């Protein structure tokens, strides 16, 4: 059997992991790659290529990086010349036209970081953790014009505990998504898998994370704050204000103790523990980062800055 010819569309490292897996699999041949243009990154805002672009360049693959695929008919014509059998889309970051989706023998498929129909949209990994889900996963779906609404080809499930961060989950799902491509995508192209329509009554949406959400509110329960710290670990992070300065919060733990104090007040500050009152329960801050400083454990932070019971975090 001749290898399945793939047009790959993706941008971040999550997508690059999937591209590498296809390149190693003799059942597939990547005939071209489409990614986002170089974007400013870092403090100096230098133009930086996407992770997918770097993989494409390393492997001498035909590469396109249009600002808008929908508004670039000349780019679409080049993609047609690649004569791909299928388009594989992983975190590409642009809306694709129906004409594009219909232009491949086996259509277009997408690897999505949730158990569809749950968490359709831009930030499924983060929103799942923020919601306190006990399981999530990754889905291979056939793409349709409606966002993340296509028939499901296959899934992989991951059980979640209350400590896993979005960064850690991101890595796990990248591995499982690659497994979907290596195993289930081939079966799909052989018509060995029956797709399943999504249940629209179970749909939830993972809206894009806004920078304003990074500021934590003590008006929330400790558990909610803890979930948000874990969820935003891969961006934009979380912070509070202490004595007029931003203090990043990297790691927390929820206390069973439901002591009633002033919201945001220090309930306990000793050599190894820093506990803050929330709207429901107490939260322990385990890793913090003052402005212009490196990340610190709580003992390191308490040596750096004097904090006493009753002090207020905003």
Cα(228)–Cα(214) distance, integer angstroms: 8
What are 299's two structure tokens?
Answer: 């003992």
Residue with tokens 């400013």: 40
Cα(137)–Cα(208) distance, integer angstroms: 19
Which CATH number does the domain 211-304 belong to among 2.10.25.10, 3.10.25.10, 3.30.565.10, 3.90.180.10? 3.10.25.10
Domain 4-206, CATH 3.40.50.170 — does that match? yes
Q: Would you say 278 and 294 are in contact if contact means Cβ atoms under 8 Å apart? A: no
Give the residue-averaged pLDDT of 149-162. 97
Write out the H or E segment, with its range, that includes residue 58. Answer: helix 51-58
The answer on pLDDT for 203 being more than 70 is: yes
Q: What pLDDT is attached to residue 271?
A: 81
Residue with tokens 């961060």: 165
Report residue 57's pLDDT band, with 50, 70 and 90 as the boundaries. Answer: very high
Write out the H or E segment, with its range, that includes residue 90. Answer: strand 86-90
* pTM of the entire predicted model: 0.93
For residue 61, what are the CA distances in angstroms to 32, 56, 64, 75, 116? 6, 5, 10, 16, 31
Q: What pLDDT is attached to residue 258?
A: 67
pLDDT tens digit string along 107-138?
999 999 999 999 999 999 999 999 999 999 99
For residue 222, what are the CA distances in angstroms to 126, 217, 231? 18, 10, 14
Q: What pLDDT is attached to residue 201?
A: 98
Q: What pLDDT is attached to residue 41?
A: 81
The answer on pLDDT for 46 being more than 80 is: yes
Q: Where are the beta strands (DSSP E) in 104-187?
A: 108-112, 120-121, 135-142, 152-159
Residue with tokens 């041949």: 29
pLDDT tens digit string along 182-199?
999 999 999 999 999 999
Q: Name the segment(s) of the chain with CATH classification 3.10.25.10.
A: 211-304
Q: What pLDDT is attached to residue 259?
A: 65
Give the residue-averaged pLDDT of 46-57. 96
Give the residue-averaged pLDDT of 30-48. 90
Q: Would you say 115 and 139 are in contact if contact means Cβ atoms under 8 Å apart? A: yes
Q: Name the segment(s) of the chain with CATH classification 3.40.50.170.
A: 4-206
Q: What pLDDT is attached to residue 49?
A: 96
The answer on pLDDT for 275 being more than 70 is: yes
């Amino acid at each position: 059997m001749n290898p399945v010819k793939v047009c790959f569309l993706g941008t971040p490292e999550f997508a690059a992991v999937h591209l590498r897996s296809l390149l190693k699999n003799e059942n597939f041949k990547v005939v071209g790659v489409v990614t986002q243009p170089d974007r400013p990154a870092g403090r100096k805002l230098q133009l930086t290529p996407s992770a997918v672009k770097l993989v494409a360049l390393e492997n001498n693959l035909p590469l396109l990086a249009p600002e808008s695929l929908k508004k670039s008919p000349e780019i679409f014509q080049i993609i047609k010349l690649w004569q791909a059998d299928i388009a594989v889309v992983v975190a590409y970051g642009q809306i694709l036209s129906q004409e594009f989706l219909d232009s491949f023998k086996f259509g277009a498929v997408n690897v999505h970081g949730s158990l569809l129909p749950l968490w359709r949209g831009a930030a499924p990994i983060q929103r799942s953790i923020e919601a306190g889900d006990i399981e999530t996963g990754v889905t291979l779906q056939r793409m349709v014009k409606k966002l993340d609404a296509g028939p499901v080809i296959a899934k992989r499930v991951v059980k979640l505990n209350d400590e896993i961060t979005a960064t850690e989950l991101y890595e796990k799902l990248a591995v499982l998504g690659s497994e979907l491509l290596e195993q289930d995508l081939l079966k799909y192209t052989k018509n060995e898998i029956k797709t399943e329509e999504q249940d629209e009554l179970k749909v939830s949406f993972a809206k894009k994370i806004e920078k304003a959400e990074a500021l934590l509110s003590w008006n929330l329960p400790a558990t909610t704050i803890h979930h948000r710290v874990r969820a935003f670990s891969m961006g934009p992070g979380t912070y509070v204000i202490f004595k007029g300065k931003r203090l990043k919060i990297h790691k927390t733990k929820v206390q069973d103790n439901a002591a009633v104090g002033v919201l945001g007040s220090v309930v306990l500050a000793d050599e190894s523990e820093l506990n803050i009152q929330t709207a429901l329960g107490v939260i322990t801050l385990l890793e913090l980062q003052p402005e212009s400083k490196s990340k610190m454990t709580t003992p390191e932070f308490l040596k750096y800055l004097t904090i006493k019971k009753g002090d207020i975090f905003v």
